[in-house]
Structure 1
Amino acid sequence: MNNNDADKFIYKEATCTDNSCNDKAKALTLKIIAIVSILVTSMIGVSAPLFTRSIPALHPDRNLFVIVKAFAAGIILATGFMHVLPDSFDMLSSSCLPENPWHKFPFTGFLAMLSAIVTLMVDSLATSVYSKKSNVGVNPESITHGAEPDREMASTVGHFHGHGHHYEDKLASGAKQLLRYRVVAMVLELGIIVHSVVIGLSLGASSNTCTIKGLVAALCFHQMFEGMGLGGCILQAEYKPFKKAVMAFFFSVTTPFGIALGIALSKMYKENSPSALITVGLLNASSAGLLIYMALVDLLAADFMGPKLQGSIKLQVKSYMAVLLGAGGMSLMAKWA
């Protein structure tokens, strides 16, 4: 090894291991504060839409709900584009990783693309399977009178029944729309949970007090409004109270759980080690593809191309502004997180 190579090796070792902001004791205090504050804000965010049925203006059928949902969708879209995807690019192109293959191929873009395609497949197949399971499209009567129908589905769309065949099309259409809401809620929750655990793990394993402070505030903002988006989807899915509570619970605890796991693994987990960079980088890329697909296709496109927004230019403009406001606010958070 010549002098030039030795200098490069020393520099690489320093950048991959040392940090002047490292303070384990102070970082631990900040992490405990992060667990409590993120748990509380996550619960507030995801629960808020679930308790708005008693407020007429925030009912899912009202315009204000559509605007708030558009704002939350902008948050989720910006999370994928401005936070998760850039983090994955940074990790998988790090100087701490070997030149071959990590610097020879754009793994982040490839995996994000693959993740979006897989999400489309899951989205489509889950809708098909759920439709067949609920007997949607076969005979509207079977939804309310068939053997072992989906009871929640029957209760949701049953008000169409009993008024003659005039309402059969509405019955099938309402049931299919409800199925879509349920699939969207499940797939979105899956993507957010993976992303939240990865964020928490990275935060919990870090001893860098310079970044943790800003990250805690940014994550509280992020979790609250991302939770609002998920909560809106759960509300539209018309689940029973127990299912709503379970989904809200898992969303609320995943990031704090990830932080606690990171603290427990901090002796083994080194955030700039090649194995950690590759694992978290690949998970982030997968999560980014899923979140971007869900935000654009299942949340924004579904609403903006739907009859409610297509029937009102004024509501469309308000919703566009809400999307830009949500995406802009979350993008600004990228300065600190």
Structure 2
Amino acid sequence: MAAMADNAWSNIPTELLRAELQRRHGAGGQADETERPECGSRDRGHYDVPAHVAALFLILALSTLCCALPLLSRRSTSGRKRSSIIFYCQHLGSGVLLATAFVHLLPMAFESLTDPCLPYFFSEGYTPLPGFVAMVSAIVVTGVESFLTARGAGHSHTHSHDLWDGSDNESTTHIPMQEPVSGLAAARRAGHRPNDLSLGDEESTQGLVAGVSPLPTSTPIGQRDGTKPEEQDVFNDDESDLNFEADELHRPLPSDRNEETANLTRRNHQVDKLTTPQQSQEEQNRQVLQCVMLEAGILFHSIFIGMAISVATGPAFVVFLIAISFHQSFEGLALGSRIAAIQFPKGSLRPWLMVLAYGTTTPIGQAIGLGLNGVYDPASAPGLLLVGFMNAISAGLLLYAGLVQLLAEDFLSEKSFKTLKGTKRARAFGAVTSIAYFGFVSRSPLAYETTTPTQQWADSPMRLVHTPQYETKKTDLFTTGATHMGLLHNAIIRGYNSIYLQAPHVQESDKADFVNYALTWYRFVMSHHDDEELNLFSRVEEILNDKQVFAETHDEHETFLGGLAEFNLYLSTLESSDDLSATKLLAIMDSFQEPFEHHFHHEITTIAALAGHPNAPTPDSPDAAVASALFKAWGKKTVSKAGMSDVLPFFLMNLDATFEDGMWANWPPMPAPIRWAVTNVVGALHGPWWRFASCDSAGQPRELHALQTKSEKTEL
């Protein structure tokens, strides 16, 4: 038995054993180092300089305008409308900043700093590093703000004592007290208070209610500048009481009462003039400091966002640009609303300079990316480390700003409970949570970030079709038509390969989504077949006046239709997805793979050869224009009519934008916003299905989902 076991092991190829050891992480650190994937992007295709320059000006305009909008609305509107604009901008902005930190920056920092191509310390040795960096940056900014605030408070405290201590300087230490009239003394003896007492600074009475702590902007006179409670006795100690005793038997007269009220009003106004300017300046300095910290956290990562846009190509560039446009707009509103809340001096350029700094930072990054195109690679080891650390630091800054400076102050401070009540508080909280949810959607499994694969897993076992236009460089009607047909065939082939390769490895919890993914592939194939038979072939035969050009193609269809029907019958009649058997499914797929592959290659050759048909339309002729329009119309309908919410996303997420040197990165010629909406919005209806697709939403090939698991290979 032992000898038989030894023979069994000896018959297994060494390459397979090494691959299995690596998969189980049992080959040791040295093997990991030798097998570590290389950092760096693959061929990213054609670089469109005019498009990137236009994107730079687009981001510049959007960022600057959205950040300036709250400031402009404050100057151009008044009353409730202005307050509502600032109100919603502030709270929507809080949600944007929190979503940016939690959903965008921090996860991307983890993705960059734990990339498998990086050295062991980053990829496996200390994977919590991005979280640690974010934590340190939050602690550092807390210490900086604490130091600067304490420094300012200390200065204020010393100055306040100069005002209220017992020195002889009358101008600073003694507020002249009017001699009390007899009417007021009598009123005190009788236990009465003047009922028409009016204070010059109405806000100074806030915070005097028992059990309520005074707020920084509305504190009692004795505490506005940092004096201790006992120091307030300067107004009501024993000496003060003696001043009233001589005339306390007199009854109050109306004129006496009015005079005393005026004296109190003037006295309070004197105190307010001494304290309010200093306090408001300190409060403004604190708000400016917080806003600067907030803007620093935003600008810190904006430069790298700009560089990332400028080095992207193909569909990834368009999708990335759309997503970043939304990101910059909302983030600009968030920052602008906080800048608008600060009371800058009239005519000050400081708020506009802060707006300009935000508006130009990302475009500066784009300009750097344009200049370094071909040199800077965000997927290289230095690029991953640089972007990863910057994203982690920015995440820490924005987490502190969003949670401490914005969310806590807006909803948990004592001042907030006075200003946000009832439905107003609910609206504010709803604004924060709604935009935070938008951040969640923007980082869905179909989000705009691209994936750098280690292998094009879906390129086998069925071979991909090489397009005639790529091989021959011809541009005639039928070569172009055959090329586009070949690209569509490749999406179907990648779908087949992705199902075939993942079936033995799908986890129990993923089986239902995998079955739906496979059934979508079947609907895609059958829609394509039916449209060829019912529409395309007959129209081409009419143009060529030849009923036999697709005779062989018709016969080829019959060779695999039976296997496709069995594939659909098996999957659609499963009582439960748990009953799925990889062995059964692969046996069915094996039964029609050979004729299926032969047809998908041979049909392209057949269509391309029609360029030499005796009745083929000559270039630029009316018949050629009709035939070209036919191919274009058929190409649009064959996929979309099969299913906008399932087949169309399936098709787009199995198109490799890097195929044939990126020559087809912009195929099909679909407007970028529509393509983005199909993959990221419409496709989200069945989002979990597309985990099994061979490419991401930007057309970048990726390792198949089920092959990324580190669990043991199990039979379904």
Give the structure, 1 or 2, with the largest relative contact order (CA under 8 Å, sep 6 or more). 1
Counterpart residue number, 1:232: 337
Contact 2:136 2:396 in 1 (8 A): yes
Aligned pair 1:196/2:293, yes or no?
A: no
Contact 2:113 2:385 in 1 (8 A): yes
Q: 1:96 aligns with which of 117, 122, 126?
A: 117
Tell me, in whole angstroms, the C-alpha distance in 1 between the residues paired with 2:327 and 2:304. Answer: 14
Counterpart residue number, 1:149: none
Aligned pair 1:82/2:94, yes or no?
A: no
Counterpart residue number, 2:64: 43
Residue 107 of structure 1: how far off its partner (Å): 0.9
Contact 2:133 2:396 in 1 (8 A): yes
**What amino acid maps onto 1:52 in structure 2?**
S
Q: 2:136 aligns with which of 114, 123, 133?
A: 114
**What amino acid maps onto 1:57 in structure 2?**
R
Tell me, in whole angstroms, the C-alpha distance in 2 between the residues paired with 1:212 and 1:164. Answer: 63
Residue 57 of structure 1: how far off its partner (Å): 2.7
Aligned pair 1:210/2:315, yes or no?
A: yes
Tell me, in whole angstroms, the C-alpha distance in 2 between the residues paired with 1:229 and 1:130. Answer: 27
Aligned pair 1:18/2:124, yes or no?
A: no
Equivalent residue runs for 1:117-156 within 5 Å: 117-131=139-153, 135=156, 138-139=159-160
Residue 88 of structure 1: how far off its partner (Å): 0.7
Equivalent residue runs for 1:1-337 within 5 Å: 3=15, 4=18, 12-13=37-38, 16-19=40-43, 22-26=44-48, 28-54=49-75, 55=77, 56-57=79-80, 59=82, 62=83, 65-105=86-126, 106-131=128-153, 135=156, 138-139=159-160, 163-165=269-271, 174-204=280-310, 206-240=311-345, 241-307=348-414, 309-311=416-418, 312-334=421-443, 335-337=447-449
Counterpart residue number, 1:151: none
Question: Quick check: which one's helix share is greater?
Answer: 1
Tell me, in whole angstroms, the C-alpha distance in 1 between the residues paired with 2:32 and 2:402. Answer: 46
Counterpart residue number, 2:598: none
Instruction: Indicate the RMSD between aligned Cα atoms, in angstroms.
Output: 3.2
- More divergent stretch after superposition (210-219 vs 318-327): 210-219
**What amino acid maps onto 1:92 in structure 2?**
L
**What amino acid maps onto 2:100 in structure 1?**
T
Distance of aligned partners of 1:267 and 1:136 in 2 relative to their CA distance in 1, 3 Å threshold: farther
Q: Per-residue displacement from partner, 1:23-49 (whole Å, max 9, x unpaired)?
A: 2423x3432222111111111111011
Contact 2:302 2:365 in 1 (8 A): yes
Residue 316 of structure 1: how far off its partner (Å): 1.2
Residue 307 of structure 1: how far off its partner (Å): 4.6
Tell me, in whole angstroms, the C-alpha distance in 2 between the residues paired with 1:211 and 1:8. Answer: 30
Distance of aligned partners of 1:83 and 1:242 in 2 relative to their CA distance in 1, 3 Å threshold: same
State how many pairs are aligned.
314
Taking structure 1 as the reference length, the TM-score comes to: 0.82
Q: Per-residue displacement from partner, 1:144-199 (whole Å, max 9, x unpaired)?
A: x99xxxxxxxxxx9xxx982325766656544432221111111111111110121
Tell me, in whole angstroms, the C-alpha distance in 1 between the residues paired with 2:157 and 2:440. Answer: 41
**What amino acid maps onto 1:188 in structure 2?**
L
Q: Per-residue displacement from partner, 1:186-223 (whole Å, max 9, x unpaired)?
A: 1111111111012112222x243232211111111111
Residue 101 of structure 1: how far off its partner (Å): 4.3
Q: Percent identity over the alignment?
A: 28
Q: Per-residue displacement from partner, 1:112-165 (whole Å, max 9, x unpaired)?
A: 1111111111222232344567x47733999xx99xxxxxxxxxx9xxx98232
Counterpart residue number, 2:571: none
Distance of aligned partners of 1:17 and 1:198 in 2 relative to their CA distance in 1, 3 Å threshold: closer
Tell me, in whole angstroms, the C-alpha distance in 2 between the residues paired with 1:117 and 1:166. Answer: 37
Contact 1:136 1:176 in 2 (8 A): no
Contact 1:131 1:179 in 2 (8 A): no
Contact 1:191 1:290 in 2 (8 A): yes
1:12 counterpart SS class: coil
Tell me, in whole angstroms, the C-alpha distance in 2 between the residues paired with 1:7 and 1:127. Answer: 50
Gaps of at least 5 residues in structure 1 are: 147-156
1:94 counterpart SS class: coil
Contact 1:87 1:281 in 2 (8 A): yes
Gaps of at least 5 residues in structure 2 are: 1-13, 20-30, 164-170, 173-217, 219-266, 450-716
Tell me, in whole angstroms, the C-alpha distance in 2 between the residues paired with 1:66 and 1:170. Answer: 25
Residue 271 of structure 1: how far off its partner (Å): 1.6
**What amino acid maps onto 2:42 in structure 1?**
D
Distance of aligned partners of 1:239 and 1:131 in 2 relative to their CA distance in 1, 3 Å threshold: farther
Distance of aligned partners of 1:67 and 1:227 in 2 relative to their CA distance in 1, 3 Å threshold: same
Distance of aligned partners of 1:137 and 1:256 in 2 relative to their CA distance in 1, 3 Å threshold: farther
Contact 1:30 1:212 in 2 (8 A): no
Taking structure 2 as the reference length, the TM-score comes to: 0.40
Residue 279 of structure 1: how far off its partner (Å): 1.2
Tell me, in whole angstroms, the C-alpha distance in 2 between the residues paired with 1:9 and 1:259. Answer: 36
Residue 7 of structure 1: how far off its partner (Å): 12
Distance of aligned partners of 1:265 and 1:140 in 2 relative to their CA distance in 1, 3 Å threshold: farther
- More divergent stretch after superposition (3-12 vs 117-126): 3-12
Distance of aligned partners of 1:101 and 1:90 in 2 relative to their CA distance in 1, 3 Å threshold: closer
Contact 1:96 1:272 in 2 (8 A): no
Residue 336 of structure 1: how far off its partner (Å): 2.6
Tell me, in whole angstroms, the C-alpha distance in 1 between the residues paired with 2:299 and 2:413. Answer: 28
Contact 2:114 2:122 in 1 (8 A): no
Contact 1:70 1:323 in 2 (8 A): yes
Tell me, in whole angstroms, the C-alpha distance in 2 between the residues paired with 1:319 and 1:111. Answer: 31
2:343 counterpart SS class: coil
Residue 266 of structure 1: how far off its partner (Å): 2.3
